Structure 1
């Protein structure tokens, strides 16, 4: 795709010479809402955000709540979520209550129970933001025996999305198609070179190769992109009830996502200070994918810096924009979908 044809309304403030680090001129999530003229304009819409009580999930919820939409946030800490919801509500132009759904993404039983809880309270869902995740965690497994990062970052959201698709489809109209937003990372590029190859699929649990926390993270983030691609392929072209799916890199942000890395946070922040974002800025691309009018009637894409992304240049440096060719691999996309369906089949009954 030619550079001039990409959707990039905030390109100027993201030029390298304009970057000054967290809090610079790059847009925040609430600025996206303001720029789209959506303050208290979405009283007819319902949004669900995973991990809405920490990190950029909080700022995503804060911005989308300002639209007047009915906002649900998932959490594994109800007390923390209640505190976050109270803070958002106290400072938001909308007074619609924020609703909390308990969901432990390391347990597919918990994901299914959370979906049932949501469905008991709402028969509508216009926006699903698969935001929650873990990064570079020590080798471990979910409660269901899946490698921890793949299971948490991909499989839990695969099941969640699969169970909520009927509601997303029913809520979609030609005037406003439902949207699914998967948070990926440029970690798919730097920590998973080559993508989900047959060898990777054959050893998702690192039984045959030594565990590497960054490789595992990269696999899960590649899966987030391929999942969105498959959703778009299967559901985006419906004439009456389309569902569009996006994936994105939110940028480098200091949040609890880094909790497994200790002193590396300070090192990364120092080395890439100019491109680092505040949590408010880090949530902007998620919100842009979820609400921007420019996407109405268009297929979902992989995005970063509040714009459509482009293929990565040769020999990229850490922090360079773009996606790897394996993020557009239709063979891996289909294989991942089929394997994921098999893995979560017991929870689809």
Structure 2
């Protein structure tokens, strides 16, 4: 397993010595090695989703790429899009109907999926917004859409798994899970009690990503379906476009943040590492950052920390969220 600690120990800003997604493919010797494998990636119209697709495309995988805005995605992907083994699929993350339609479209084309990367996400809407299903927008987009998508694609992930290449789910989470100490109560996931706060909402949705990965591993790891959660780092993308101007200005003056900031190719590196690393074969239930397995640290209060909070691993809460999520997306209770 390649070691990338040196570059991350003394970051110097975007484009520094920290690895890119393409470097991960090279270091892992994966050029062309995913030929015949199927990868599904959500959120490929901007940001690290594009670079993730580019890197895994060079590995030879067949890609199904979802986006809310297909014309925008087509422009974003035009430099490397290969229609012979890449397909764009419409999916609006705030609509469970759209998620179901996207899964159906993909399953009409393939009955095996080797890697699912839950990349799409939104961050910090200042006012409470609900979907047509009554779900808070962060939780709906970042968690519930991916939860339903996974459940629908799960048979294909299980079918694809083999002893030499077990299936993987990669949840793109965030250090933002550290902003608070857990999930809302089951009767207040969507801030029904009127206590909405943007950072709390975002934090809950990112913690839900981690919990989902952990619970997938607990339920399906023994049958060859593994799940990992990833903190990509502070990445220079448009995901923060809903932040107040004063917050963006303050961030722009934060020298610590600027040194830790990654460009998009670097921001996609940990996701790609999670998807293809030979050292992670057969492993799951891990929180990854900076192309390594992260450490626990409740004392580091920086939201840019690559470490995870102790409550990021909580079997009881993971099981509660799983059960409640089944109900929220309209699926029957499972075992």
- Structure 1 residue aligned with 2:17: 25
In the alignment, the residues of structure 2 paired with residue 262 and residue 125 of structure 1 have an alpha-carbon distance, to the nearest angstrom, of 39
In the alignment, the residues of structure 1 paired with residue 233 and residue 309 of structure 2 have an alpha-carbon distance, to the nearest angstrom, of 16
- Structure 1 residue aligned with 2:6: 12
Of 35, 45, 54 in structure 2, the residue corresponding to residue 43 of structure 1 is: 35
Equivalent pair of 1:311/1:325 in contact (CA under 8 Å): yes
Tell whether 2:236 aligns with 1:254.
yes
**Alpha-carbon distance change, 345 to 318 in structure 1, aligned in 2, over 3 angstroms:** closer
- Structure 2 residue aligned with 1:134: 122
After the TM superposition, which residues 247-286 of structure 1 pair with which residues of structure 2 at under 5 Å, given as runs? Answer: 247-263=229-245, 264-271=247-254, 272-286=257-271
Could you tell me the TM-score, scaled by structure 2's length?
Answer: 0.94
State the aligned residue count. 329
Q: Could you list the runs of 5+ residues in structure 1 that have no partner in the other structure?
A: 1-6
In the alignment, the residues of structure 1 paired with residue 253 and residue 261 of structure 2 have an alpha-carbon distance, to the nearest angstrom, of 9
Equivalent pair of 1:184/1:221 in contact (CA under 8 Å): yes
In the alignment, the residues of structure 2 paired with residue 269 and residue 38 of structure 1 have an alpha-carbon distance, to the nearest angstrom, of 37
**Alpha-carbon distance change, 224 to 14 in structure 1, aligned in 2, over 3 angstroms:** same
- Structure 2 residue aligned with 1:150: 139
CA shift digits 1:304-331 (9 cap, x unpaired): 0110011014253342331111110111
Could you tell me the TM-score, scaled by structure 1's length?
Answer: 0.90
Tell whether 2:121 aligns with 1:121.
no
In the alignment, the residues of structure 2 paired with residue 154 and residue 113 of structure 1 have an alpha-carbon distance, to the nearest angstrom, of 17
Of 288, 310, 314 in structure 2, the residue corresponding to residue 325 of structure 1 is: 310
Q: Could you list the runs of 5+ residues in structure 2 that have no partner in the other structure?
A: none
Partner secondary structure for residue 150 of structure 1 = helix
CA shift digits 1:114-141 (9 cap, x unpaired): 0000111112210100000100013111
Of 72, 78, 84 in structure 2, the residue corresponding to residue 86 of structure 1 is: 78
CA RMSD of aligned residues (A): 1.7
Q: Which runs of 4+ in 1 moved over 6 A?
A: none
In the alignment, the residues of structure 2 paired with residue 8 and residue 188 of structure 1 have an alpha-carbon distance, to the nearest angstrom, of 27
**Alpha-carbon distance change, 201 to 24 in structure 1, aligned in 2, over 3 angstroms:** same
